[in-house]
Amino acid sequence: MRRRTERLHSARLPGIRTMTAKAYFHHRPWEEVMCGIAAILYKTGESTRSQAVGLQLREMLYSMRHRGVDSTGVNIAGQHFGTDYVVRVVVSEDQGASPVIEGVRNAVAALGGSVVFIDDFGRFRRIGLNYSGDLGKLSDSILSVKGAEIHSIGRSSEVIKDVGDAYELDKKHHFSKVNGTHGLGHVRLATESQVDITHSHPFWAYPFPDITVVHNGQLTNYHKLKREFQQRGFRFQTHNDSEVIAVYIADKLSRRRKLGDVLEESLDDLDGTFTYVVSTDSGMGMAKDRWSAKPFVILETDEIVGVASEEVALRRIFPDDVRRVEPQEHEVLTWNVSLAPRIKVRLN
């Protein structure tokens, strides 16, 4: 670690508690809450083979559903797909899925790649493909297909997001079945951009693989940063300030910088109020602005770390007394996974 009367759904996880509606909804007044962040990471490689990261994220996010009613999303890392990449694509409601997916197949083939499998989730497709060329060209080519949007491209992770709460997301995408080494999630109350799937969190750092961000707050220099990246040839899919954070981090990491150093620099380069968590292929980190306006809680043991906007989410996976830490203003923390062979996951 680096310094710088309803009952909730109860998954059958060891030690997960239920609680009464009174305890749940009085944890924080409704009028004071906005969006919620959750993340979990298993530190030791051998223990990561069968960890129910998807299921645990579902429970954490559902416990904070009062913080965001518009959408829910997760990124689960540490998977093995049996292909070079997995691409999460959503088809526009104005287009039929068949011509869009055929267009994606053709776009991949035109660059010398091949589609190995496609999993169907309604408007969403999970596409496993083999490709050895430039990822920017692949991303641009897929995005040029009319009616196609990209939620993520990863070697070992994928973004799964949709409107509704965590249980509604799971009914459509079955992410609670996905195991991994670490993951993050978000429940969203839209403030600066529209309510739709595209503007939901997490945000993938186009076109970098396996780098995603969840963010609670608002960047006041968002437009300036976005213009600077666009002038350098970067492409954005949304008007959400959180996407800029993801690209900012990925750009610096691509120059072989350490995650902790990049997050520390972000405290000076990003203006506004923010608490964000970033996931990479080998770990995750968090950063909190100089005003420390957004709530954030950490519970950690020798094997596992969990972070969330509210402790109620963490108690879904930490049943016992664990030291509670609240990061302070202008603070950065990072955690790494001791990588074991990645988990092979396929959803039907």
Return the bridge partners of 46, or none. none
Using alpha carbons only, give the angle 78, 323, 7 rounded to the nearest 5 degrees: 75
The tokens of 274 are what? Answer: 């923010």
- Amino acid 315 reads R
- Residue 35 is a catalytic residue: yes
Spacing of C-alpha 21 from chain mean position: 28
Strands 71-77 vs 157-163: parallel, antiparallel or unpaired: antiparallel
> Of 8, 33, 35, 278, which one is the catalytic site residue?
35
288 and 296 Cβ atoms separated by less than 8 Å: yes
- And the tokens for 221? 């220099």
Active site residues: 35
